[in-house]
A = this chain, B = another copy of it.
Amino acid sequence: MDKLEMRHTLLAAKARKKMSWDDIGKAVGMSPVWVASACYGMNSASKDVAQQICDTLGVESDVAEALVAFPTKAWDEAIPQDPFIYRLYEVVGVYGETLKDVVQEKFGDGIMSAIDFTMEVDKIEDPKGDRVLLTLNGKFLPYKSW
């Protein structure tokens, strides 16, 4: 079973079970964003967690094998088109240089890792319109001289 078939199976099971990513995250003891990314095929799970996801969603254990496999990460569009994802791309374009300067001033020359990295989504209720809170947390990696 490849990652694409795995993803279809898991999303269909999730719809059938009427579970949210929060529900699944709680059931398997991981963050909902990470669980979703693994089910979308963008991260690999440990054997235990993969099995727990399959048990939670009631799918066969060959899906677990696909969850454990190391993914090849790719996306369709160099410049995303869906408005939700484009807005994130726009933030990187508009604020990328600013963030580089603010972070490197605080930490020195280096980058925020996208590998040793976690991310959370929260909802802030607000009478003028609810707000989305995205929290990105990555290890700072200083450039090495040699």
Question: CB within 8 Å of B: which residues of A?
Answer: 20-21, 30-34, 36-38, 40, 42-46, 49, 70-75, 77-119, 121, 123-124, 126, 128-146
Asked if residues B102 and A21 are in contact (CB atoms below 8 Å), the reply is yes
Least distance between A133 CB and chain B CB atoms (Å): 5
Asked if residues A145 and B88 are in contact (CB atoms below 8 Å), the reply is no
Asked if residues B117 and A100 are in contact (CB atoms below 8 Å), the reply is no
Name which of A79, A118, A140 has the most chain B CB atoms within 10 A of its CB: A140
**A133: chain B residues within 8 A (beta carbon):** 135-137
Asked if residues A134 and B99 are in contact (CB atoms below 8 Å), the reply is yes
Interface of chain A, main secondary structure: mixed
The docked-state distance in angstroms from the alpha carbon of A95 to that of B83 is: 13
From B20, B82, B86, contact of A105 by CB (8 A) = B20
**A80: chain B residues within 8 A (beta carbon):** 92-93, 96
Asked if residues B94 and A72 are in contact (CB atoms below 8 Å), the reply is no
Asked if residues B79 and A49 are in contact (CB atoms below 8 Å), the reply is no
The docked-state distance in angstroms from the alpha carbon of A136 to that of B37 is: 19
The docked-state distance in angstroms from the alpha carbon of A97 to that of B100 is: 24
Asked if residues B99 and A75 are in contact (CB atoms below 8 Å), the reply is no
Additional A-B contacts beyond A91-B136, A107-B132, A133-B136 (20; CB < 8 A): A30-B145, A33-B95, A33-B98, A33-B99, A36-B102, A74-B77, A74-B82, A78-B78, A82-B96, A83-B114, A85-B96, A87-B114, A87-B138, A88-B92, A91-B119, A99-B121, A111-B115, A113-B141, A118-B146, A130-B140
